[in-house]
Amino acid sequence: MARRALPITAATLTATAALLLSACGGDDDKSPDDTKAADAGSSPSASASATTPPLAKRPDITIPSSFQLTFEDWTSSDPRRQAVLDDAEEEVRAGYAAIIANDPDSESVAFYDTEGVRGQTKEWIKSYTDKNLTVIGKLPSFNPRVVLAENGQGAALTYCTDESDAKTRNRKTGKVEGNPAGTNPYVVYAVSLTKNEQGVWQNSSVRSERGKCSR
């Protein structure tokens, strides 16, 4: 179920790697000074651009009730971080919607992925569709953390998912399977995003590691 299950290392992004220390599980223990430091990295121009109406018309993405993909506490009082969370959420939804629709060439996925990562997402989708699999059950995503780049055009996001109730179903046989017995259901993700000219936050890289977070 995990997307691009590659080890998360310091090479991913310095900001993302730092976030991994508290990405999933436990309380957010950032000090007031840490918060100020993160906010200080945002330029006035970045704040101004965050208030500019987006030029792009975002696609409508529909996921059937047979797969309950939820995003717990994906909210921020900072509109700049909220914009990152909103587009990152839609990218995740687009990927699973493509699996369910048996559509590896989904235009919605292409909308939310940069050209460099689009092929990797397609291969992940095809790892299901080539085997006649769809997804069912429940997949909550929680404990998101966002760090913005100083220029306001890049961001790092970490979050956790719980695959305990996420399963696959074979389209032909109807066979339902979950993760193999003994598999840790928790997966932490580290995502790099860049804002394109239309104001859309697109995934530019995704890394994941199983067993590195919990509720």
Segment 196-213, tens digit of pLDDT: 999 999 999 999 999 999
1 inside domain: no
Would you place residue 33 in the very low, low, confident or very high pLDDT band (cuts 50, 70, 90)?
A: very low
The number of distinct structural domains making up the chain is 1
| pLDDT the model gives residue 4 | 58
CA separation for the pair 165, 148 (Å, rounded): 32
- Lookup: tokens for 65: 């009730």
5 inside domain: no
| pLDDT the model gives residue 1 | 72
Answer yes or no: is pLDDT of 177 > 80. yes
136 inside domain: yes
4 inside domain: no
pTM of the model: 0.80
CA separation for the pair 154, 76 (Å, rounded): 17
2 inside domain: no
The string of pLDDT tens digits covering residues 56-88 is: 899 999 999 999 999 999 999 999 999 999 999
Q: Between residues 26 and 57, which one has the greater pLDDT?
A: 57
104 inside domain: yes
CA separation for the pair 108, 158 (Å, rounded): 22
70 inside domain: yes
Answer yes or no: is pLDDT of 20 > 90. no
199 inside domain: yes
Residue 123, domain extent? 14-51+62-210
CATH code for the domain of 174: 3.10.450.50
